[in-house]
Amino acid sequence: MLFVANWKMYGSASQLLAYCERLLPQLEQCPHTVVLCPPYPLLAQAVMLCAGSGAAVGAQNCHWAREGAFTGEVSPFLLAETGASWVIVGHSERRQLFGESDDTAAARAQAAQEAGLNVVFCVGETLAQRQAGETFAVLEKQTALLGKLDPERLVVAYEPVWAIGTGHNATPEQVAEAHAFILGRLEGLTGQGVPVLYGGSVKPQNAGELLSTPGVAGALVGGASLDAASFYAIMQAAPATGAKG
């Protein structure tokens, strides 16, 4: 399975060092793929700390251009130069708080792949959309441009907005239904299966149930990924499939 730690705008250099000292030795025995996504200024340090370990490093966003007059933005090509190999794109916080759209998210994802990065592309409905019965229509729209991407370097993360940072995770039934929809959709668009992660209040206490749900290929973890012990406990709750990835 794949486990991605999204630190959001949390963390510090000293915290990253202590975290890696604690987490990385444990990954030697771990069958899973692990990606740490700290804030941009910590990426190079994370790459150094993770070298030779079982963990890869990713960023939390990127721009769609190689370079340009885009103050405050970060080129995916520069991210690749730091040694990062993954990037999260289209996170609901980017969509809701910073006005990103399906179009710009797809453009960012495409540029990231051109730079050689693997993409975690986030989708998910708001509570109002779910209550209005629009969940599948929203997921269909959010994934509409993913046929342009290389499916070999694409992972989709289903993160219902109402479950992010709220402590209310989706039920296994809701997760199974959404993942089945996304899997079918991606198969239709790309001609092959694409892993789908679940994200939204994943914790050690609920990870076993969520990760055993059909169609779940791993987790995108926010709050609980900031603590090495709880992030590792989430991985340990995964059903034993044996396969790496």
> For residue 155, which of 140, 143, 163, 137 has the smallest C-alpha distance?
143
E strands in the chain: 2-6, 33-37, 55-59, 86-89, 118-123, 154-158, 196-199, 218-221
From CA 217, how far away is CA 155, in angstroms rounded?
Answer: 9
**Could you tell me how many helices (H) and strands (E) the chain has, helices first?**
10, 8
From CA 28, how far away is CA 134, in angstroms rounded?
Answer: 43
From CA 143, how far away is CA 151, in angstroms rounded?
Answer: 13
Question: Using CB under 6 A as the criterion, which residues of the chain lie in contact with ligand 13P when the complex forms?
Answer: 6, 91, 159, 164-165, 199-202, 220-224
Nearer to ligand 13P, 49 or 164 (CB): 164
Q: Which residue sits closest to ligand 13P, CB atoms considered? A: 222
Nearer to ligand 13P, 64 or 162 (CB): 162
Nearer to ligand 13P, 147 or 223 (CB): 223
91 as an active site residue: the answer is: yes
Nearer to ligand 13P, 106 or 221 (CB): 221
Which of 91, 93, 100, 125 is an active site residue? 91
The catalytic residues are 91, 159
